[in-house]
Amino acid sequence: MPDFDLAIRGGTLVTAADTVQADLGIRDGRIAAIAERITDTARTLDASGLLVLPGGIDSHVHIAQAAGPGIVMADDFASATRAAAAGGNTCVMPFALQPRGASLREATHAYRALAEGQCHIDVAIHLIVSDPTPAVLGQELPALIAEGYTSFKVFMTYDDLVLNDRQILDVFDVARREGARVMVHAEGYDTIRYMTERLERAGQTTPYGHALSRPELVEREAAHRAISHAELVDLPIVIVHVSGEQAMEQIAWARARGLKIHAETCPQYLTLTAEDLKGRGSGDPMAGAKYVCSPPPRDTASQAAIWRGLQGGVFEVVSSDHCPFRYDDARGKLNPRAKESFRYVPNGIPGIETRLPILFSEGVSTGRISLNRFVELTATNHAKLYGLYPRKGSIGVGFDADLTLWDPNRRETITQANLHHGADYTPWEGFAVTGWPVMTLARGEIVAEDGRVVGALGHGRVLDRIAQAAPHP
């Protein structure tokens, strides 16, 4: 019997810390050896000329999540994990959403059942707490955390999800006691409502109004409030999808006070602007619906600020915030009410397959960030923040053999025709990139190769995690 099931030979291994020329030996789905030369193997993959990266971990994606009435998300677990694998990812983290008035426990178990057997790559499930009743705070949430659902998101906006300040404090308190990680969607409900109604009265109802209704102030104000609540409860939090300098300033301010505030941004805030919500030269203002997400993309000065934050350490993770709706579809972006007002355009854009190529091309190929920083931002820090480390997120003996073979020189043009998601468009149509994932291995098996998804549905598992217990009286 050979020592290894598979050897990856001749590649350049990249971790958050190092870049080394070495072979990898894989056994039973895990990395079993790193050596100058590995020969005693059943199979060999030639990675010469390629980078061998830890598979991408996307810790913020929305899959098969309940949207508004009559609105349907465009991906189920099969299509989302297929697209993720093709884009060089080996683990994604979607959200089990508690509908108001319903049990969080039941919603979570039903959501997990949708995922079981339907994934190409591993998934780990976060929770969305929309109704923190005494039963949820006292029993359901602690029990779910103990079961391995150790992270959840709270929203400061959206009619059906928003929590008030007291509810946020109560949820933070449970997280503090049980050792869970909380992600915060920081945009202020009341400021958005005020702006939305003002814009509608003025007749500004097209999708571009979405950007106007959520200026940076809305995000800055909510970030400040979330940070203050976190300080009061003594809980580290993650502020997700940060779009510009004003929220960044709040995060830097909090850290200067010694608070543990983590931060995430997304490719849309590096590459899109509010102008895209005007329809991008199509002549059709409704085409701007393709770019409606929250927070909205800002301007080129904000993009530059986000780059500084990626270089300087404000951001620890870059996620996609994949939240796919079909555009030309009555249950998607162009639903029957979308023309009435931007408030009826479902929020979110697809990006699970394009996150890594866009960040690599715009970040590494241009010299803005190092290869090691790229790995840290796209894999390692996701695993560390959300309890998957040291099982996932790096290349080392004992880690899952979750790997992406990456061609740093390959030029591609992003186009809907070549993507694998369930949406009918990509916001990055025609976007040229340098650097491309040519093969994805999940726990030692090839799941995607050259744009084709070859792994079996059901190879991906639903992962349980262990709370970082931080008992608090």
Q: Please choose which of Zn ion, ligand URP, none residue 82 contacts, taking the beta carbon within 5 to 8 angstroms, the exact cut-off set by kind.
A: none
CA–CA dist 162, 155 (Å, integer): 5
CB of 414 to ligand URP, least distance (A): 20
Interface with Zn ion, residue 355, by CB under 5 A: no
The site string for ligand URP over 8-47 (x = CB under 6 A, - otherwise) reads ----------------------------------------
For ligand URP, which residue of 75, 321, 402, 445 counts as binding (CB under 6 A)?
321
Q: Please choose which of Zn ion, ligand URP, none residue 392 contacts, taking the beta carbon within 5 to 8 angstroms, the exact cut-off set by kind.
A: none
Interface with Zn ion, residue 459, by CB under 5 A: yes
Q: Please choose which of Zn ion, ligand URP, none residue 459 contacts, taking the beta carbon within 5 to 8 angstroms, the exact cut-off set by kind.
A: Zn ion
Interface with ligand URP, residue 75, by CB under 6 A: no
For ligand URP, which residue of 79, 118, 273, 294 counts as binding (CB under 6 A)?
294
The residues with which 436 forms a beta bridge, in sequence order, are 407
For ligand URP, which residue of 323, 379, 414, 448 counts as binding (CB under 6 A)?
323
Q: Please choose which of Zn ion, ligand URP, none residue 354 contacts, taking the beta carbon within 5 to 8 angstroms, the exact cut-off set by kind.
A: none
Answer yes or no: are the C-beta atoms of 81 and 123 closer than 8 Å: yes
Buried b (16+ CB within 10 A) or exposed e, 94-104: bbbbbeeeebb
For ligand URP, which residue of 83, 184, 293, 371 counts as binding (CB under 6 A)?
293
CB of 77 to Zn ion, least distance (A): 15
Interface with ligand URP, residue 62, by CB under 6 A: yes
**Burial (Cβ within 10 Å: 0-12, 13-18, ≥19) of residue 250:** buried
CA–CA dist 364, 372 (Å, integer): 9
Nearer to ligand URP, 13 or 156 (CB): 156
Residues 398-437 that bind ligand URP (CB under 6 A): none
CA–CA dist 389, 352 (Å, integer): 21
Buried b (16+ CB within 10 A) or exposed e, 3-19: ebbbbbbbbbbbbbeee
CB of 266 to ligand URP, least distance (A): 8
For Zn ion, which residue of 316, 321, 362, 400 counts as binding (CB under 5 A)?
321
CA–CA dist 443, 115 (Å, integer): 18
CB of 178 to ligand URP, least distance (A): 23
Q: Please choose which of ligand URP, Zn ion, none residue 290 contacts, taking the beta carbon within 5 to 8 angstroms, the exact cut-off set by kind.
A: none
Q: Please choose which of Zn ion, ligand URP, none residue 384 contacts, taking the beta carbon within 5 to 8 angstroms, the exact cut-off set by kind.
A: none
Q: Please choose which of Zn ion, ligand URP, none residue 293 contacts, taking the beta carbon within 5 to 8 angstroms, the exact cut-off set by kind.
A: ligand URP
Stretch that binds Zn ion, among 10-18, 180-188, 299-307, 312-320 (CB under 5 A): 180-188
Residues 343-372 that bind ligand URP (CB under 6 A): 347-348
**Burial (Cβ within 10 Å: 0-12, 13-18, ≥19) of residue 226:** buried
Nearer to Zn ion, 110 or 456 (CB): 456
Nearer to Zn ion, 185 or 290 (CB): 185
Tokens linked to 217: 């102030």
Nearer to Zn ion, 8 or 433 (CB): 8
Answer yes or no: are the C-beta atoms of 64 and 75 closer than 8 Å: yes
Question: C-alpha 338: how far from its chain's center?
Answer: 26
CB of 321 to Zn ion, least distance (A): 4
Determine how many CB atoms are found less than 10 A away from the CB of residue 87. 28
Residues 6+ apart with CB under 8 A from 96: 107, 108, 111, 112, 125, 126, 127, 128, 149
**Residues that contact ligand URP, how many (by CB under 6 A):** 9
Residues 226-265 that bind ligand URP (CB under 6 A): 241
For ligand URP, which residue of 185, 210, 382, 443 counts as binding (CB under 6 A)?
185
Tokens linked to 327: 């555009």
CB of 149 to Zn ion, least distance (A): 17
CB of 277 to ligand URP, least distance (A): 12
Stretch that binds Zn ion, among 184-192, 214-222, 327-335, 394-402 (CB under 5 A): 184-192
CA–CA dist 435, 85 (Å, integer): 16
The residues binding ligand URP (CB under 6 A) are 62, 185, 241, 293-294, 321, 323, 347-348
Site of interaction with Zn ion (CB under 5 A): 185, 321, 445, 459
